[in-house]
Amino acid sequence: MKISKNAQAGSLESCDILITVEPAKPGTGIEIKLTSPSIKQFGEMIREEIKEVVQRLEVTDVKITAIDKGSLGYCIKARTETALRRASGE
């Protein structure tokens, strides 16, 4: 999947996460900037959830900004997938 434009999914409501996706130059890789109230405890886990979806959708170069509001894995993955698909123009 090719990321061709900026896109967003999710919200800043409790239990949600706001994912913003931007195209990146080839070779940049997957860049994730994360903000979360529980970054110490769950930061790595959230990054992994995001990365799993990015890899499943075969996106190689992308910039992702994630603002977490206490979301669970199913939500993180859904919001990431939605943002990526929107950014690919699907």
Partner 1 sequence: MSKQKNDITKKKDERLRRTRLYIPGNNPAMMQNAMIYGADSLIFDLEDSIAINEKDAARFLVRNALQTLDFGEVEVTVRINPIETKYFSKDIAEIIPAKPDGILLPKTESLDDILLVDKEITRIEKEHKLKVGKIRIMPIIESAIGVLNVEEIATGPRVAAIGLGGEDLTADIGAVRTRNGKELEYISSRIILACAANKIQAIDTVFADINDLEGLYNVTVEAIEMGFQGKSIIHPSQIETVHKAFMPSKEEITKAEKIVKAYKESIKKGRGAITVDGKMIDVPVVIRAEQILKRAKAE
Q: Does 10 bind partner 1 (CB under 8 A)?
A: yes
Q: Determine how many CB atoms are found less than 10 A away from the CB of residue 73.
A: 13
**Quick check: 25 binds partner 1 (CB under 8 A)?**
no
Phi, psi of 16 (to 5 degrees): -115, 180
Sequence-ordered alpha helix ranges (H) in the chain: 39-56, 73-87
29 is an interface residue for partner 1 by CB under 8 A: no
| 20-28, 38-46, 59-67, 68-76 -> range binding partner 1 (CB under 8 A) | 68-76
- Please state whether beta strands 17-23 and 62-68 pair in parallel, antiparallel, or not at all (unpaired): antiparallel
* Candidate residues 13, 31, 44, 48; the one interacting with partner 1 per rule CB under 8 A: 13
Tell me if 51 contacts partner 1 by CB under 8 A.
no
Phi and psi, residue 38, nearest 5°: -120, 40
Which positions lie near partner 1, rule CB under 8 A? 9-10, 13-16, 71-75, 77-79, 81-82, 85-86
